Amino acid sequence: MTAPTGLAPMEVLLDARDMLGEGIVWCERAQALYWTDIQRATLFRLHPADGQLAQWPMPERLASFALCESDEWLLLALASRLAFFRLADGHLQTLHAVEPDLPTRCNDGACDRQGRFVFGTLHEPAEGSKQRLGGFWRLHADLRLERLALPNVAISNSIAFSPTGDTMYFCDSLSRRIQQCSYGDALGPPCLFADLGDVTGEPDGSCVDAEGSLWNAQWGMARIARYAPDGSLRECLPVPTQQPTRPVFGGARLDTLYVTSARTGLSPQQLHADRYAGALFHATMPVHGLPEPRFLGRPP
């Protein structure tokens, strides 16, 4: 499979061998990528210019996170809680338990254009299939936690925001549909944005470019799909692994697309065939991304 006209093929930047690479964000100030391997409960930072790699072990699985206005902190969505994390010394300051009475954990998350952190959860059943028990939440700058008036989900994903911040994208991966709603202090009713149809894969993490297109990693389908603002499929960018998880635009000109991926769930035979499962990929794009919004709240 070759890349569509105008899109460079994805190449391996780092053979990270992540079990479940996720949550990737680009820090313009540090010119660095941050991402998490959820299964290994580890946060990573890479400076692509010189290959300098740092990592921080976490006390539990780290699902997603946000840059903060203060460079010394990150806001973490750990499996069971939200917390501030100080990079210099690893100090962790818990803010809220998340769905403590449910068999769920935090999952996908992103800052909105107003500096609030929006995230979702997923169901982790002791046995049987996942059920729609999880929800979507928003942490305000005053550290107030609000449950959003959106449908319950089994696996929250694809949280992203339009360039103007007045549209939110999200999905339940098991539905194979990406939804959208008008977004602000209040949310409008959800409506269909894109339907993957009857496929073997699922929509995973997303980002939005400066033109308003949504770029969605499609788990099990070895591709990043680019959707126009009206939900029409513009093109698909092949990724040389079956389980891409989340894209982000970065680089000095915000024209490099970085993509995380996963090894989890693959058999030894599949891993032998999928040489770069769990790698971090990159490619230069003909479009530009948007600066990563930062969480405006501060540790109490």
- Residue carrying the six token digits 């930047």: 13
Distance CA 115, CA 14 (A): 30
Asked if the model's pLDDT at residue 2 lies above 80, the reply is no
Distance CA 141, CA 84 (A): 13
Would you call 86 helix, strand, or coil by DSSP?
strand
Distance CA 158, CA 177 (A): 10
**Percentage of residues of the chain with pLDDT beyond 90:** 96
What does the pLDDT read at residue 3?
Answer: 46
Q: Could you tell me the pLDDT band of residue 6, with boundaries at 50, 70 and 90?
A: low
Per-residue pLDDT reduced to its tens digit, 238-254: 999 999 999 999 999 99
Q: What angle do CA 206, 209, 213 make, to 5 degrees?
A: 75
Helices (H), 151-294: 268-273
What does the pLDDT read at residue 66?
Answer: 98
Per-residue pLDDT reduced to its tens digit, 140-168: 999 999 999 999 999 999 999 999 999 99
Asked if the model's pLDDT at residue 4 lies above 70, the reply is no
Contact 222, 256 (CB under 8 A): no
Which helix (H) or strand (E) segment holds residue 52: the answer is: strand 52-57
Distance CA 198, CA 55 (A): 39
Asked if the model's pLDDT at residue 201 lies above 60, the reply is yes
Q: Could you tell me the pLDDT band of residue 11, with boundaries at 50, 70 and 90?
A: very high
The rounded mean pLDDT for the chain is 96
Contact 109, 67 (CB under 8 A): no
Per-residue pLDDT reduced to its tens digit, 173-188: 999 999 999 999 999 9
Phi and psi at residue 116, in whole multiples of 5°? -110, 150
What does the pLDDT read at residue 8?
Answer: 75
Pairing of strands 202-208, 214-219: antiparallel
This prediction has a pTM of 0.96
